[in-house]
Each structure stands twice: as C-alpha cells, then as structure tokens.
Structure 1
C-alpha cells in the first residue's frame, strides 16, 4: 500500500477523537457501518473517495488534512556574519519568527558605544564573561547567566578584558538589523 494512503486511517481516527465522536456516531452520520470505519482507521481497509467524502464532511475537514504534509529540512544552513570583530552565527532560518544567533565577542579593548532601538533582547552566556551596559548599570554575566531587557534603554554588550565570550542572543527583527548591519551596510 502507498505510504501516503497508509497514514489516512490513523489521521482519520485522530480527527474523530478530537471531535469526541465514537466509531458508531461518526459511521452512522456518514452512512457507513462502524466495522467499516474501524477497519479503515486501522488500515485493514483501503481508503477510497466513496468512503472518505462522507466522513470528512461529517468531521468538517478537508481531504488534504488526511494526507501527510511535507516536512521541511530542519537544519539551518546560513553563513556566519563578521562585523566589528564579532562573529554572528544565525541559528534559525531567516523566515523564523524568533531571531536566534550565537555571537562570539573578542576580548574587549574598550567599551562599545551604547545603542537604542525598538524591541527586546535576551542573551545567555555560553562561555567567557560579558559586560552588559544597561542604562547607568554595568553588569558582568558569566557562563550560564542570562538577561532580558528592553532595547529602548541605552545598552551595549562586549566581552570583558579578561578574554573572549560566546553568547546566545534572541531578538526581534529590528534587533537583527541593528546587530548584523552597520549604518552604511545594505540589507
């Protein structure tokens, strides 16, 4: 039996159970026997349009809902970006609603200028230590520490003078533009 057709029965069973219907209730409403529906759901009877059309009408679903959906390759294959001494590695597809990056900060030689932009940022230190300048505060975060902040507050992030650091950073689309493109860069 075709792989696509083999999955119809279990998906039909899930749709029926999601609507809290018994075999007898759905079969009766669709004008087929409960044993036929049971065999269809268990894969012992091959699906055909004559059986499926009345069932999907009663369930309020489309025939496509019973067919397998193409599963996209979950691997992320994007190049790292080098900017201002940072190595910024995208960890999510560009189309993802969550913008996630691994950022490698070199050992700090001086404090970076604070920036302000819309959104929120979340950072998690993987290794090394970072200096988070947030408003009037200077915070040192080490491995395993995290911070979340409103990016409308003046802020800057850098490794400390002791050595490089690596963080996971999550922010909105405006934060991505601010962190991956300089003022003169073209998107």
Structure 2
C-alpha cells in the first residue's frame, strides 16, 4: 500500500512539475487536456483519485507519454557499471542503456596505435558523428583529409564521408555519442571483420 501511495504522489509531482516547467497555469493545462481547472488542481494536490482516462490526455498535453508519467522512481538503474569490450587496438565502455531517449548511445573508447596498423579501411554509414577527446590526440581520417584532434577538443562530421578514427603517437581516449546507424557500424561490427570503424 505504501508503494502505491508513493507512486501516486510521484505522478502528481510529475504533473505539477511539468506544468510549472512549461510556465502554464492550471487553467492553461486544463484547457489543453479538456479537464476543469478544479479537477486538475485536486489531482495535483491529492484530493482526487487519479484515473487512467485522465492521465492519458494530461500526459499528451504535457508532451510526454503515459509510460514516462507513471514509470518507477527506483534508483537501482541510476548507476551504470560498464564492462569493457575489446577489439584490436580498441576498448569500448557503453555508458548508456539500451532504449536511451532518441536511440542515442554514449560510449567511452580507448584507441591505441595498434588499431591503425595493417592498413586502415575507411567506413561509411548514414548520419553524423560527434566525439570529444579526453586524453591523447586523435587522428581523424576524412576521405583524403587527415585532421588531428587534441585533448579538450571535439569533432563533428557527416559519416557519409569515408572516415576512420585512430590514435596519433600514443593511446587516446574519447567520449562519443552515436545514433542508431553509428551504433550498428561501430559497436556491432562482426568480430571477424578486418576493422571496426569508429
């Protein structure tokens, strides 16, 4: 019973918090979800039981989903403990969970010069790519062009340009955000492939 009450209170806080964040009065939200301002006020303050047929239009009006409005507040999923995945000259730590908003994947990568030996093959896939260099210097190959990106600098480029990310004169660590196409190209390349394009 206590868990049900605390979940109920959390939903009420979310409704009120989202409304206030948008700068809306009770009247403004009530008009958007076709409820009376007094009904909405009683929902927010806990003086009225929350009904599913009220939550759906409230969630829609607030620009969220019913799932997000009622999702659990458990903190067990807050900390991510990434396990390193190794390939020749590349170690990857996934820093986001499956199903992240927008399908974006955040990863930390450690690239060593070993990755660049044996002839680099340039990869191409739809989308854009972004990374920031945490330490070392990245050697970014974009078609015929070579760009050096140092610690504290970032790079963003179209992945339709043939590209390869390698280490320049020593190991490098980067933080990267990949879209769905980038994740498929970089993190799900077959083990037997001659390279894993970043």
- Asked whether the two chains share a fold, i.e. TM above 0.5, the reply is yes
2:102 paired with 1:95: no
With over 3 angstroms needed to count, the CA separation of the structure-2 counterparts of 1:153 and 1:111, relative to structure 1, is farther
- Work out which of the residue numbers 141, 166, 171 in structure 1 matches 2:173: 166
- Measured in 1, the distance between the counterparts of 2:164 and 2:153 equals 17
Aligned-pair CA distance for 1:133:
0.9
Aligned-pair CA distance for 1:40:
6.7
* 8 Å CA contact retained: 2:122, 2:143: no
* 8 Å CA contact retained: 1:134, 1:156: yes
Per-residue CA distance 1:115-168 (angstroms, 9 max, x = gap): 23212211111110011111111111101111111222121111112x211001
* TM-score, normalising length: structure 2: 0.64
* 8 Å CA contact retained: 1:132, 1:158: yes
SS at match of 1:87: strand
Greater displacement, 145-154 / 7-16: 7-16
- Measured in 2, the distance between the counterparts of 1:95 and 1:155 equals 27
Aligned-pair CA distance for 1:77:
3.6
Larger radius of gyration: 1
For residue 106 of structure 1, what is the aligned residue in structure 2?
112
> For 1:144-183, what aligned pairs fall within 5 Å after superposition?
144-161=152-169, 163-180=170-187, 181-182=189-190
2:81 paired with 1:71: no
> For 1:119-158, what aligned pairs fall within 5 Å after superposition?
119=126, 120-158=128-166
List alignment gaps of at least 5 residues for structure 1.
28-33
How many pairs were matched up? Answer: 165
RMSD over equivalenced CA pairs, Å = 3.7
For residue 85 of structure 2, what is the aligned residue in structure 1?
81
2:43 paired with 1:26: no
